[in-house]
Amino acid sequence: MTGDRSANTPAGAHDAGAENVDTDFTGQDLRDRFASAAKVPPVFRRCDFTEANLSKAALRGATFDTCTLDSATLTRAELDETAWTGGSAANAVLSRADVTDATFDGVDLANTVWKGAMIAGAAFRGSRLVGARFDEARGLGATFRGCNMMLAALPGISLRGQELDGLRMDDAVLSGADLRETVWTRSRLRGAVLRAAELDGADLRGADLGDIPIEEAHLLSGADHLGRAGRVDPRRPRHRRGRLSTARLPRGWPSRRHRRQNDPDWTAPT
């Protein structure tokens, strides 16, 4: 079987184009094994990489089908154009990894760390990204659809012009994110942090904003889409306000109760 052949490959050798089936790499240091790229991208099916060290692994174009990479280390790994289907990489570290144009379909990526990773063109579909951290992630064109991203941190990410469908982003951090001209459908943003986010032209009517306080959204003073919105303190540094001047918000948001709670100077119209 191809799985047996792969398992017997000596350390330091990268079996070009091998299909690895049910191979157990648990806890192994695989840095030498995958130090150079194979001529044909490898395929991994139901393999276990739990707590394995894949730092700087050259795995461009590899396929990970229903594999387990929980708590694995993939720092600076070359994972561009890889295809991930099912399985789990919960708590894995992908700092400075390159996942350009990679696809993640139905993968458990909870609490993963993507600090400084190159995510240009990466596609996350139906995946679990609860608590994932994309601090300082680089690259444009990353897409997210149908993902659970509660408590995820995506400060400064650019999703400009995208249709964001089926995202659960309760308590997610979107500080400084570029969300201009985005269209949100079947999504939740309850408790999300939008400090300094740019939302000009965004259509948020299909998003559940919950009880987002006005001070958290940093609405611009005089934004006509809000009618009599809470007053914004002009002394507050401008760069800390989100830009919502042309955003379309869900009907009835913010409510009188939210305005009253977050701006003591606001009074309901008579």
Q: What is the pLDDT of residues 126-158, one digit of tens each?
A: 999 999 999 999 999 999 999 999 999 999 999
Q: How confident is the model over 204-225, as pLDDT tens digits?
A: 989 998 865 555 544 332 222 3
CA-CA-CA-CA torsion sign (121, 133, 152, 64) = positive
Region 53-65 average pLDDT: 98
Which pLDDT belongs to residue 248? 63
Calculate what percentage of the chain has a pLDDT beyond 90: 68
Lowest mean pLDDT among 84-98, 109-123, 135-149, 239-253: 239-253
Instruction: State the Cα torsion 5-11-16-21 to the nearest 10°.
Output: 40
Which pLDDT belongs to residue 17? 59
Across 80-108, b (16+ Cβ under 10 Å) vs e yields bbbbbbbbbbbbbbbbbbbbbbbbbebbb
At position 232, the amino acid (one-letter code) is V
Which pLDDT belongs to residue 13? 45
Question: How many Å apart are CA 230 and CA 214, to the nearest integer?
Answer: 7
Instruction: Give the distance from CA 246 to its chain's centroid.
Output: 25
CB 93 within 8 A of CB 70: no
Task: Give the pLDDT band (50/70/90) at residue 18.
Answer: confident
Q: Global pTM? A: 0.78
Peptide bond into 254 cis (omega under 30): yes
CB within 8 A of 157, min separation 6: which ones?
134, 137, 142, 174, 177, 178
